[in-house]
């Protein structure tokens, strides 16, 4: 009859409209957006799909190309990018630039809007995660490229969402750093902190002090061959990160954690402090020259994993000449606002000397127009206005920073350290701070974690990966994933929006993406992968 025919037609229309579309609010989006509203129906990407750019600028074009390049391999569609009418719209709107973005998905198309190219980039990252996981494939696969209709409004909770790579304990190649940046970008991280020097290695070329890399860069933990970035290679990393709206924060750790520099240059080692003036006339005949350690021996190369045994000579002018040369060269390579001066675990520096050193080095950073970040111990010194204390161990240091009117970057070792073992059986990692399972890295609130430190005191969240036990890309991936995704959500999404049960489901989806990308993540037993 006519009626059954009509019913059949309705059935077949609704079933071919969006065969496997997942409602928008059930898509595996990490970090979870501020608001997601689902509507019935879905948009389907097709061979005629194209990206339309509204607005101007190289950054906008870059975001358009980024999205196209992400969509092409798995779909096999051409996905041209232009100002012509298209079904995937990236629109730069007027107003003060912010990281906020909106997405609207209807049967006819997708529109992403933001006042900044960075916001549009975050929007495209969200869109990719709203598509079926098969979109991650590098060659054509058969899938229904649908996205459930609806609306997303999103913006980050914290301005600074960072991850750190310790390239000093074990050197990490430019290629592996870029691979990490790609993953960070997909999780909306916007700061990459590179720990460029430590007792076991100096990893950045400094032209005025060439032995830093010649001698200090040669080895790494365990005595294997180390490495370093030439300034050109380093700039290449900075550019690669900037293209993904990510700022590199270079760290030279000092005055402790400096054995590699002390092995390269004897004169930086502590020795007996000599008075200024005419040394010969002042001391002739009165002093035993042998006890005057005017030219101390260089330190021995160090390949172990102990901490806290080294220090620069904080009382010699040559040290500050050196530090200024290093900072000047680093600033020339650094478009971002921050220089990280380390400052942790200087156990063999006298307290007064430590404070003198930190204050003087902050002054050098300021002189070159940058802002200092340091590990929380720097708050025992007088902080320069704007200096940031990176909380990792001591709440009282975080409080000292707050009392001075400075902001805090949250990296509590018990939650945010990616080098901590998951449990006692983890094949890699340390456990001095804690065992950190996936739910431990997820279930904490930066705004209430440390006593007396509130949301407004916090610049953001950073996930450091120390590499004493980590030697290659597979090791990095095993320790960083899935925890890097959990911490991305801690940094981006509001505490009210976050929910462990929801994250468990979404991270399982993310796991499928990592599998397709060949990323060997830790299959936490807390998740039904
Ligand atoms: C402490 S965290 C350190 C690092 C080690 C790390 C290992 C910090 C500021 N200092 O030197 O690599 O523990 O977990």
CA of 57 to the centre of ligand 1 (A): 42
Instruction: State pLDDT tens for residues 15-33.
Output: 444 455 889 999 999 999 9
Please work out whether the CB of residue 160 comes within 6 Å of at least one atom of ligand 1: no
Say if ligand 1 is within 6 A of residue 209 CB.
no
**Roughly what angle, to the nearest 10 degrees, separates helices 174-186 and 117-130?**
80
What residue's CA is closest to ligand 1, atom 8?
344
Separation between Cα atoms, residue 499 and residue 517, nearest integer Å: 26
Residue 411's pLDDT is what? 98
Asked whether the predicted pLDDT for residue 485 surpasses 70, the reply is yes
**Cα of 524 from ligand 1 centre, angstroms:** 24
477 is catalytic: no
Q: Does residue 379 register a pLDDT over 60?
A: yes
Question: What residues does CATH 3.20.20.80 cover in the chain?
Answer: 160-500
Q: Which residue has the higher pLDDT, 528 or 294?
A: 528
Which SS3 state, helix, strand or coil, does residue 380 take? helix
For residue 179, the CA-to-ligand 1 centroid distance in Å is 23
Q: Can you tell me which atom of ligand 1 is nearest the CA of 305?
A: 12
Percent of the chain, pLDDT > 90? Answer: 90
Question: Is 466 a pocket residue for ligand 1 (Cβ < 6 Å)?
Answer: yes
Q: Is any atom of ligand 1 closer than 6 Å to the C-beta of 344?
A: yes
CATH 3.30.379.10 intervals, the chain: 17-154
Per the confidence metrics, is the pTM higher than 0.80?
Answer: yes
Sign of CA dihedral 484, 465, 495, 127: negative
From atom 10 of ligand 1, which residue's Cα is the shortest distance away? 344
Q: Nearest Cα to 152, choosing from 41, 27, 68, 55?
A: 27
Burial class of residue 139 in the structure, from the number of CB atoms within 10 Å of its CB (0-12 exposed, 13-18 middle, 19+ buried): exposed
**By three-state DSSP, how is residue 398 classified?**
helix
CA distances from residue 224 to 200, 304, 392, 433 in whole angstroms, order as listed: 11, 11, 29, 27
pLDDT tens for each residue of 6-16: 444 444 444 44
Residue 3, pLDDT score = 54
Nearest Cα residue to 429 out of 476, 385, 382: 476
- Which CATH superfamily hosts domain 17-154? Chitobiase/beta-hexosaminidase domain 2-like (3.30.379.10)
Please give the average per-residue pLDDT across 286-293, as a whole number: 48
The helices-and-strands tally (H runs, E runs) of the chain is 17, 17
Instruction: Check residue 58 and give its pLDDT.
Output: 84
Q: How confident is the model at residue 272 (pLDDT cuts 50, 70, 90)?
A: low
Dig out the tokens for 505 from the structure.
Answer: 């489901």
Atom of ligand 1 nearest to the CA of 307: 11
Atom of ligand 1 nearest to the CA of 417: 14
Q: Considering the chain, what is the average pLDDT of its residues?
A: 93
Q: Please state, in angstroms and rounded to a whole number, the distance separating the CA atoms of residues 341 and 252.
A: 5
- The Cα-based distances of 3 to 11, 17, 286 in angstroms read 12, 21, 117
Ligand 1 atom having least distance to the Cα of 169: 12
Distance from Cα 393 to the centre of ligand 1, integer Å: 10
Q: What's the CA-to-centroid distance between 19 and ligand 1, angstroms?
A: 50
CATH number of this structure's domain 160-500: 3.20.20.80
Please say if the pLDDT value at position 277 is more than 70: no
Instruction: Give how far Cα 312 sits from Cα of 85, 104, 262, Å.
Output: 61, 56, 7
Which percentage of the chain shows pLDDT scores above 70?
A: 92
Q: Which of 91, 155, 233, 345 is catalytic?
A: 345
């Amino acid at each position: 009859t006519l009626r059954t025919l009509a019913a059949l037609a309705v059935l077949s229309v609704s079933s071919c409209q969006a065969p496997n579309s997942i409602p928008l609010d059930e898509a595996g989006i990490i970090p979870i957006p501020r608001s997601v509203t689902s509507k019935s129906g879905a948009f389907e990407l097709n061979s005629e799909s194209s990206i339309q750019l509204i607005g101007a600028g190289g950054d906008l074009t870059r975001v358009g190309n980024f999205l196209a390049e992400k969509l092409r391999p798995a779909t096999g569609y051409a996905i041209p990018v232009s100002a012509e009418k298209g079904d995937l719209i990236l629109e730069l709107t007027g107003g003060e630039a912010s990281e906020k973005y909106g997405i609207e998905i209807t049967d006819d198309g997708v529109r992403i809007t933001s006042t900044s190219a960075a916001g549009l980039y975050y929007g495209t990252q969200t869109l990719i995660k709203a598509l079926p996981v098969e979109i991650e494939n590098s060659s054509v696969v058969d899938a229904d490229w649908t996205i459930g209709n609806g609306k997303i409004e999103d913006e980050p909770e914290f301005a600074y969402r960072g991850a750190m790579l310790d390239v000093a304990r074990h050197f990490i190649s430019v290629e592996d750093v870029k691979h990490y940046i790609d993953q960070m970008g997909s999780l909306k991280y916007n700061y990459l902190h590179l720990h460029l020097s430590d007792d076991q290695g100096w990893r950045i070329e400094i032209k005025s002090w060439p032995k830093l890399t010649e001698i200090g860069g040669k080895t790494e933990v365990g005595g294997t061959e180390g490495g370093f970035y030439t300034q050109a290679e380093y700039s290449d990393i900075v550019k690669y990160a900037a293209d993904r709206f990510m700022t590199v924060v270079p760290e030279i750790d000092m005055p402790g954690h400096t054995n590699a520099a002390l092995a390269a240059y004897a004169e930086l080692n502590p020795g007996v402090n000599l008075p200024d003036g005419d040394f010969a006339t002042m001391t002739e005949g009165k002093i035993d020259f042998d006890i005057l350690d005017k030219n101390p021996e260089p330190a021995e190369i160090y390949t172990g994993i102990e901490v806290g045994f080294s220090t620069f000579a904080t009382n010699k002018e040559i040290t500050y000449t050196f530090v200024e040369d290093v900072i000047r060269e680093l600033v020339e390579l650094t478009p971002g606002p921050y220089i990280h001066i380390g400052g942790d675990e200087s156990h063999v520096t006298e307290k007064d000397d430590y404070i003198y050193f930190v204050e003087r080095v902050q002054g050098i950073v300021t002189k070159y127009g940058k802002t200092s970040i340091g590990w929380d111990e720097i708050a025992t010194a007088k902080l320069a206005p704007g200096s940031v204390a990176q909380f990792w161990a001591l709440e009282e240091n975080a409080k000292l920073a707050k009392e001075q009117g400075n902001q805090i970057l949250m990296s509590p070792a018990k939650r945010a350290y990616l080098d901590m073992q998951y449990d006692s059986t983890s094949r890699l990692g340390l456990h001095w701070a804690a065992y950190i399972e996936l739910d431990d890295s997820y279930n904490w609130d930066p705004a209430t974690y440390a006593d007396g430190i509130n949301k407004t005191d916090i610049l953001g969240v950073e996930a450091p990966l120390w590499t004493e036990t980590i030697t290659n890309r597979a090791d990095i991936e095993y320790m960083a994933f899935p925890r890097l995704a959990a911490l991305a959500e801690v940094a981006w999404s509001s505490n009210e929006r976050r929910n462990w049960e929801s994250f468990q489901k979404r991270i399982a989806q993310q796991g499928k993406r990592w599998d397709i990308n060949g990323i060997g993540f830790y299959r936490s037993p807390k998740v039904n992968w």
